[in-house]
Structure 1
Amino acid sequence: MKIATTFGASRVEDPKLYEEGVELGKFLAERGYVIKCGGYGGLMEAVSRGVREAGGEVIGITLKYFDEIRPENPYLTKKIQTPDLFERLKNLIVGSEVFIAQAGSIGTLNEIFMVWALKYGLGLDFRICLLGEAYEEFKTCSFIPKERLSEIEIYKNLEEFKRNF
């Protein structure tokens, strides 16, 4: 089973960004990937919706605390509830061969950097794909060593990602 984990914002104001999430989900499902995501709204929901529209499976890795204050997205085929953020992140990571991040905030950055640290620190072999112009700033960020940039793939948009995937 091929598994891809997607990261992204829990709230999306821009309908175009939401539709890109749906398109990403369809694209991955059509290539045989089972998707893991955080299981809630925003881009997590958009990707899940796209996966389901393409007939694929989505595993939502939720957090007990969040389950009490926000609904899970309705497109999940399976839900794994975790007791804390560490277990949630572990469940999002284990078994995945590719990690794809769209626009997000602190939580998305945490997920990206954890996966990147595992790839670098343990020499694990998986892809990290970052979609969106905001990630271009990683290339000039002073706290990211230039030699580490070869471990990630930065795409300006979804179309560029799809051409190179």
Structure 2
Amino acid sequence: MKIVTTFGASRVDDAELYDEGVELGRFLAENGFTVKCGGYGGLMEAVSKGVKEGGGEVIGITLEYFDEIRPKNPYLTKRIPTKDLFERLKKLIEDSGMFIAQTGSIGTLNEIFMVWALKYGLGLDFRICLIGKIYEEFNNCTFIPKERLKDIEIYENLEVFKKNF
């Protein structure tokens, strides 16, 4: 089974960004991937909707604390609840051969840096794909060694990602 984990904003007010999430999910499902995500709203919901439309399976890795304060994602085919953030991150990461991040906030950055650190520190072999102009700023960061940028793939938008898939 091919598994990809997606990361992205839990709240999305931009219809174009939401639609891009749906398109990404559909694309992944149509290419035979099982998709894991955080299991809530925003881009997690959008990707899940696309996976469902594409006939695929999407697994939501949720956090018991959030279950009480965040709306349910109606598009999940499976939900795996976790007790704490560390367990949630572990479940999101395990068995995935690719990680894709769309626009997000601190939680998304946390997830990106976690998988990036694992790739670098343990020499693990998986793809990290960042989709969105916002991530082009990594190329200008002085706190990220330039040789570490080779560990990630940065795409201006979803269409560029799909062409390089």
Could you state the TM-score of these two structures normalised by the residue count of structure 1? 0.99
CA shift digits 1:56-91 (9 cap, x unpaired): 000000000000111220000000000000000000
User: 2 CA distance for matches of 1:18 and 1:103?
Assistant: 10
SS in 2 for 1:154: strand
Match of 2:125 in 1: 125
Q: How many residues align?
A: 165
Stretches of structure 1 that go unaligned for 5 or more consecutive residues are none
Match of 1:18 in 2: 18
Structure 1 window deviating more from structure 2 (66-75 vs 18-27): it is: 66-75
SS in 2 for 1:91: helix
What is the aligned-residue RMSD (CA, Å)?
A: 0.4
Match of 2:70 in 1: 70
Match of 1:57 in 2: 57
Q: How much does 1:25 deviate?
A: 0.2
CA shift digits 1:113-162 (9 cap, x unpaired): 00000000000000000000000000010110000000000000000000
Match of 2:46 in 1: 46
User: 2 CA distance for matches of 1:66 and 1:161?
Assistant: 31
User: 2 CA distance for matches of 1:137 and 1:70?
Assistant: 30
After the TM superposition, which parts of structure 1 deviate over 2 Å for at least 4 consecutive aligned residues? Answer: none
Q: How much does 1:23 deviate?
A: 0.2
User: 2 CA distance for matches of 1:7 and 1:111?
Assistant: 7
